[in-house]
Chain A
């Protein structure tokens, strides 16, 4: 006899009752699927704490830090006091020598029925203005890209912690067992890299699965694939192998739960391998849908494809999808490594960037709405920080703005947030948040709340204590919830 430790599902339940960490958890993950191979795989749908407003999240990450005073948070005082010294106490920590107040090169106008102000950088987005919930009061993040990106996605710039998407995957599970529950499309390897979508101490199944090789710059989405999936595998031959594995295991008459779960996992992998290529195939989308996202024309093709993939994945029940606007502008003659990071060439750089995402994002929101997906999908648009209302890099055409962490703008749409509103405010110059502060912990608490999760109760016991995404902080911004 080879395997001599029979253990039944009842044994497994005993183990669960004893709560033996990861083993029990993963036994649980697998338990639904034993004997019911078509119903559920890797993750069972979890249970929200209360009625959710959103089922899925799409996070549109604008790497480098978008200037809030040039996009969504108009500050007429900057026009008035352009070139003057700013009336602020010197920051204790700053990234570079700070110049004087700098007015925005763009004009603002009210958009939509709600009248949300947007600068002329946005030509298409006004069409969906009434879906957007502008949050002008995000603050309290790290001043450098690495720390700020980690804070945005994990809540911590001190140590490596599970990411937002991982917590959500852990809290809610997945609705499609044939696909990962958290997919990160073409992520950047810079500034924390995998830490920004990692599961840290949560079970590895909750980590973001990159579509395409994470890199800098990241791979073009048109060639991106899931690693270790072989879409060209001969299904008949692979089936023979999996059957052989099952037959040899049966020979051992071994009922050990962990070993059985492992056998079952091969069955699931086999099915995932068949499902993924279909999810990624954009050619099945109509011409008009592709055009809606700007696919097939520049400069919108790549980001448009990312957004359309995000819709297809959300449609298939993927819980958390991240879309990344995270590349270099060097080929455009702009010395920027991180997409929106215009320490110089603000006018040129932000124009290039906005042009790449404006149409795809607009089309994405319109498409979600038309398909009835917007109500249950929370879309978040954010960079890791804003940009200073003061200038950097001399004068003239190559003037730019520095990182700004004391008050900047992100927006959300769909998924139970109020559309066409402005929440929070910065002062007359767009410098400090003066109303309805939203720290990243508050933002995380609010996102979890919209998904039906209480951030104070979504915990994981590790290293002798219960960890939360929001550590010991976080207040839900109830005012933005519809």
Chain B
């Protein structure tokens, strides 16, 4: 009897290890003493079942494994006859019965009941019962599964009735006989205002308009000169000209590219569990900025995000389209997920989630574990998309992501112009060296092991390359070198050969007697670091003197794994003479050519992977596969039956084609709503990332559809949409005097406090970037250089010291904020405190919070304090300003784009006097700094009106 417990404690894999046998009977016996005697009368199997098994099943298992609850229990039912279906019970063999495995609690994947292990004597009863044949008097029942697919199809059909999935309507603007209406937008807006008994507020004054237009389009305030120019421009199209000027500025892309980067959840490091730097993510950022400046059509833009690696390089584009797929690559990943199945499932989930929110305004990822609770997205649709992304490679292995070469226009042109010249030269060189080497096969040779170097800082490895093989290699990132003193019997010319292995190129150079004789050298890639990859390589012909010659090999930062060196003497009268001189000149030519071709960028990207449809993962669990689903798109968002995706392509290209169809109900609507949001501070649908049932409803559905159609008609041009919106009276509205001052229902504040009808311009706080850039601009410090990566983060070791350096870097940088790296686990606190977008998730609407820590930031951040002190210096050192009155006017123009009122001027001058009095000795610089600091911290500097 007692041996029945041994397998319980051994588990069913115990005996495969061949370890010294030992027994845990001791423990088992202790526990089992009582159960022995109780079992005496239960010899027959059914009796055992009734007495010892059934009560346990009822008490511990039925909660999840009976007729009504089996869905929770993975469809395993224990309230019917237990059979060998799925090896639940293998009659007579407890070790093979999964029910017993689960009860034993020795397998991390299968432990039941979940609340804890049952007493050992109970487990022993089950084992005994199985051993005895698992007699179970209960009937076997089989409920036919309900076909779930039909209900899903029905709900999709019903789901299409929801407004967001309806075709974009052709909406004509209401005919209103009203002078205020200057554009179709105005007609849609005025219709609703008039219906509510309201009139729009009057147009904003010119100073307000240029400040608003400047911040909205380029993220910077206008200079005092720009303000005066615009105020004095009496041409009828002055505002349209202003808009055009701003749209043409490179600063435009830096502003609107950043909006799009919010949606792209851009980050320069992984964030998540382990925040490895993404040293090449910044190319994607610059690419996005460039796309906006070039007004790349939106359909092209998202096609490149989804499938840029499969598209041709457009003649007028700056970046190869593969850069666009950075969108799929830069998401936050859990890098140390060791469970490969879960890793891929989670990765794909992040991509689907980002894609859905960013481009469809849909929370598709909800359908990973169950049919979407609110939107008509069945789990099958999720896995149809998952099949596309699973057929795409993003991570090469644990912790390593795909990077691919990508040309810019300039490197592409050079590569195309010159690149074709290289292969024939290289072929010829190869021929030559082979020929020379073959001709020298009988030559006198000197061969030595690389590890016999005389001087050097390289490492010698004799342990990892097989018996008798020793190599030298780099000792880490450094200027690696090894010197060899080689004695040759007679002077003459010698071919140098190196035998080495290199999985990636680690070029270095060869020096002879202190002079560089071959650069680059050791350039080849051999396929492997190990002996299998070792080859002899030609490294030039060198003239040596009799006696000791010193060769020096250099390579930095790393070095190939070098095994041996060999010198082959060239006979002075050799017919090879000509070949050798040709080799030298050919090597020089190739070198020069290679130097004039700039290598392409390395960018984060995706590539086609192993193409396969995906299985549904039951409840999202990466280890529980359900049915296979054909790859495809969201069924609710199109009406035609889908064609099957090809078996040799992931389907991303087809996904891109589907997304950019002019009649797609979501693509254009979602984007014009985003654009509207960034112009007005609030979307027509106030949840720009969610157009589903739980999202907000459109306040102006006809307007939204009108804009969506215009967008497509104008070739998806974003700049055209800016003009359409900004030239409307709606956008140029000012604020309403006296609103909110009465309780009357007439007062719009009382029935439309959120201003959803657009009865005035809404106040809104500037984004963190605009505040920082404005601080730099008004203190004459903004560095407007574009592009590049201002910081290369090399380590994930974020020590207090590194973080402190980084903080100082942020505080001292004068570049526009969009160029500051977004370290997901350590975003510049000036930005996060001012509601920077969460870089882990697409963000179309930044929420504005008002908390004391922001005030503390404005009071104490070096950035604000420096700006104040510099503005004070600029004002005080201006000889044309002769009085505090004049200085105040200049300060207000610089900071607020307007002049102070006489009251404001008086208050400010009183402050200067009080502050002076409070100081120990008079110090105008200090009191003016304090004044400027207060004005910069004040509401008017950071709020748009």
Question: Does A266 contact B689, Cβ atoms closer than 8 Å?
Answer: no
**A60 near B: Cβ within 8 Å?**
no
Output the residue of A29, A216, A262 with the most chain B CB within 10 A. Answer: A262
Proximity bits, A255-270, B CB within 8 Å = 1, else 0: 1101101110110111
A437 and B19 CA atoms in complex are apart in Å by 32
A219 and B801 CA atoms in complex are apart in Å by 9
Question: Does A238 contact B859, Cβ atoms closer than 8 Å?
Answer: yes
Proximity bits, B915-945, A CB within 8 Å = 1, else 0: 1001100000000001101110111100101
A244 and B918 CA atoms in complex are apart in Å by 14
Residues of B within 8 A of A222 (CB): none
**B144 near A: Cβ within 8 Å?**
no
Given contacts A145-B336, A464-B695, contact A215 B851 (CB under 8 A): no
Q: For residue B488, give the distance in angstroms from its CB to the closest CB of chain A.
A: 48
Question: Does B273 contact A191, Cβ atoms closer than 8 Å?
Answer: yes
Question: Does B803 contact A215, Cβ atoms closer than 8 Å?
Answer: yes
Chain B residue at smallest Cβ distance from A2: B940
Output the residue of A7, A190, A463 with the most chain B CB within 10 A. Answer: A463
Question: Does A464 contact B736, Cβ atoms closer than 8 Å?
Answer: no
Question: Does B847 contact A23, Cβ atoms closer than 8 Å?
Answer: yes
Chain A residue at smallest Cβ distance from B17: A85
- Number of B residues whose C-beta is below 8 Å from A? 120
Proximity bits, B839-850, A CB within 8 Å = 1, else 0: 011000001111
Residues of B within 8 A of A247 (CB): 907
Residues of A within 8 A of B753 (CB): 7, 11, 14-15, 18
Question: Does A434 contact B105, Cβ atoms closer than 8 Å?
Answer: yes
Q: For residue B17, give the distance in angstroms from its CB to the closest CB of chain A.
A: 5
Proximity bits, B141-166, A CB within 8 Å = 1, else 0: 00000000000000000000000000
Question: Does B19 contact A89, Cβ atoms closer than 8 Å?
Answer: no
Q: Which of B7-15, B383-391, B450-458 contacts A (4 or more CB under 8 A)?
A: B7-15
Question: Does B832 contact A93, Cβ atoms closer than 8 Å?
Answer: no
Question: Does A251 contact B907, Cβ atoms closer than 8 Å?
Answer: yes
**B735 near A: Cβ within 8 Å?**
yes
- Residue from A22, A85, A142, A201 in contact with B848 in the complex, judged by beta carbons closer than 8 Å: A22
Chain A residue at smallest Cβ distance from B738: A6
Question: Does A268 contact B337, Cβ atoms closer than 8 Å?
Answer: no
- Residue from B13, B114, B334, B690 in contact with A147 in the complex, judged by beta carbons closer than 8 Å: B334
**B901 near A: Cβ within 8 Å?**
yes
Output the residue of A95, A190, A263 with the most chain B CB within 10 A. Answer: A190
Question: Does A463 contact B740, Cβ atoms closer than 8 Å?
Answer: no
Question: Does A6 contact B741, Cβ atoms closer than 8 Å?
Answer: yes
Q: For residue A252, give the distance in angstroms from its CB to the closest CB of chain B.
A: 8
Question: Does B804 contact A213, Cβ atoms closer than 8 Å?
Answer: yes
Instruction: Report the tally of A-B residue pairs with Cβ distances under 8 A.
Output: 327
Chain B residue at smallest Cβ distance from A146: B273
Q: For residue A95, give the distance in angstroms from its CB to the closest CB of chain B.
A: 7
Question: Does B108 contact A213, Cβ atoms closer than 8 Å?
Answer: no
A160 and B350 CA atoms in complex are apart in Å by 12
Question: Does A432 contact B272, Cβ atoms closer than 8 Å?
Answer: no
Question: Does A159 contact B273, Cβ atoms closer than 8 Å?
Answer: no
- Residue from A219, A228, A237 in contact with B860 in the complex, judged by beta carbons closer than 8 Å: A228
A424 and B943 CA atoms in complex are apart in Å by 56
Q: For residue A154, give the distance in angstroms from its CB to the closest CB of chain B.
A: 11
**A8 near B: Cβ within 8 Å?**
yes
Instruction: List A247-300 residues whose CB lies under 8 Å from chain B.
Output: 247-249, 251-252, 255-256, 258-259, 261-263, 265-266, 268-270, 272-273
- Residue from B111, B850, B918 in contact with A261 in the complex, judged by beta carbons closer than 8 Å: B850
**B230 near A: Cβ within 8 Å?**
no
Question: Does A433 contact B116, Cβ atoms closer than 8 Å?
Answer: yes
**A370 near B: Cβ within 8 Å?**
no
Question: Does B938 contact A245, Cβ atoms closer than 8 Å?
Answer: yes
Residues of B within 8 A of A406 (CB): 108
A147 and B272 CA atoms in complex are apart in Å by 8
- Residue from B12, B20, B332 in contact with A84 in the complex, judged by beta carbons closer than 8 Å: B20
Residues of A within 8 A of B801 (CB): 215
**A230 near B: Cβ within 8 Å?**
yes
Instruction: List B107-157 residues whose CB lies under 8 Å from chain A.
Output: 107-109, 111, 114-117
Residues of B within 8 A of A192 (CB): 272-273, 825
Q: For residue A477, give the distance in angstroms from its CB to the closest CB of chain B.
A: 12
**A79 near B: Cβ within 8 Å?**
no
Given contacts A158-B334, A432-B105, contact A194 B692 (CB under 8 A): no
**A65 near B: Cβ within 8 Å?**
no
Residues of B within 8 A of A432 (CB): 105-106, 108, 111, 117
Question: Does A269 contact B853, Cβ atoms closer than 8 Å?
Answer: yes
Question: Does B336 contact A144, Cβ atoms closer than 8 Å?
Answer: yes
**A116 near B: Cβ within 8 Å?**
no
- Residue from A7, A87, A434 in contact with B11 in the complex, judged by beta carbons closer than 8 Å: A87
Residues of A within 8 A of B339 (CB): 92-93
Question: Does A158 contact B346, Cβ atoms closer than 8 Å?
Answer: yes
**A26 near B: Cβ within 8 Å?**
yes
Output the residue of A5, A100, A157, A256 with the most chain B CB within 10 A. Answer: A5
Residues of B within 8 A of A201 (CB): 838
Q: For residue B112, give the distance in angstroms from its CB to the closest CB of chain A.
A: 12
A204 and B837 CA atoms in complex are apart in Å by 12
Q: Which of B635-643, B792-800, B876-884 contacts A (4 or more CB under 8 A)?
A: B792-800
Given contacts A5-B736, A200-B838, contact A244 B856 (CB under 8 A): no
Q: For residue A23, give the distance in angstroms from its CB to the closest CB of chain B.
A: 7
A89 and B8 CA atoms in complex are apart in Å by 11
Q: For residue A17, give the distance in angstroms from its CB to the closest CB of chain B.
A: 9
**B485 near A: Cβ within 8 Å?**
no
Instruction: List B50-77 residues whose CB lies under 8 Å from chain A.
Output: none
- Residue from A142, A157, A256, A428 in contact with B763 in the complex, judged by beta carbons closer than 8 Å: A256
Given contacts A77-B27, A191-B274, contact A15 B754 (CB under 8 A): yes
A227 and B274 CA atoms in complex are apart in Å by 25
A7 and B803 CA atoms in complex are apart in Å by 42
Given contacts A5-B735, A150-B273, A160-B332, contact A434 B116 (CB under 8 A): yes
Question: Does A217 contact B800, Cβ atoms closer than 8 Å?
Answer: yes
A406 and B841 CA atoms in complex are apart in Å by 31
**A81 near B: Cβ within 8 Å?**
yes
Chain B residue at smallest Cβ distance from A186: B800
- Residue from A89, A205, A435 in contact with B116 in the complex, judged by beta carbons closer than 8 Å: A435
Residues of B within 8 A of A309 (CB): none
**A478 near B: Cβ within 8 Å?**
no
Residues of A within 8 A of B851 (CB): 26, 29, 42, 203-205, 265
Given contacts A26-B851, A201-B838, A268-B852, contact A189 B272 (CB under 8 A): no
Question: Does B116 contact A244, Cβ atoms closer than 8 Å?
Answer: no
**B461 near A: Cβ within 8 Å?**
no
Question: Does A21 contact B847, Cβ atoms closer than 8 Å?
Answer: yes
Output the residue of B10, B14, B272 with the most chain A CB within 10 A. Answer: B272
Chain B residue at smallest Cβ distance from A5: B735
Residues of B within 8 A of A85 (CB): 14, 17, 19
Q: Can you list 27 A-B contacts (CB < 8 A)? A: A4-B735, A7-B753, A11-B740, A11-B750, A14-B750, A85-B14, A85-B17, A87-B14, A87-B106, A88-B11, A144-B336, A158-B346, A190-B798, A191-B274, A205-B851, A213-B804, A215-B798, A219-B800, A237-B915, A248-B907, A248-B935, A248-B938, A251-B901, A251-B903, A262-B850, A266-B855, A424-B116
List the interface of chain B (C-beta within 8 A of A): 9-14, 17, 19-20, 22, 24, 26-27, 105-109, 111, 114-117, 271-275, 332, 334-339, 346, 349-350, 357, 363, 366, 373-374, 687, 689-690, 692, 694-695, 734-741, 743, 749-750, 753-754, 760, 763, 765, 797-804, 807, 825-826, 829, 832-833, 835, 838, 840-841, 847-861, 898, 901, 903-904, 907-908, 911, 914-915, 918-919, 930-931, 933-935, 937-940, 943, 945
The 6 closest A-B pairs by CB, nearest first: A146-B273, A215-B800, A434-B117, A22-B847, A144-B336, A269-B855
If A147-B337, A157-B337, A205-B851 are given as contacts, then 18 extra A-B residue pairs at C-beta distance below 8 Å, sorted by A number, are A1-B737, A4-B735, A6-B741, A22-B848, A26-B848, A80-B26, A92-B339, A142-B337, A144-B273, A146-B272, A146-B273, A190-B798, A205-B849, A230-B860, A240-B915, A269-B853, A436-B116, A463-B363
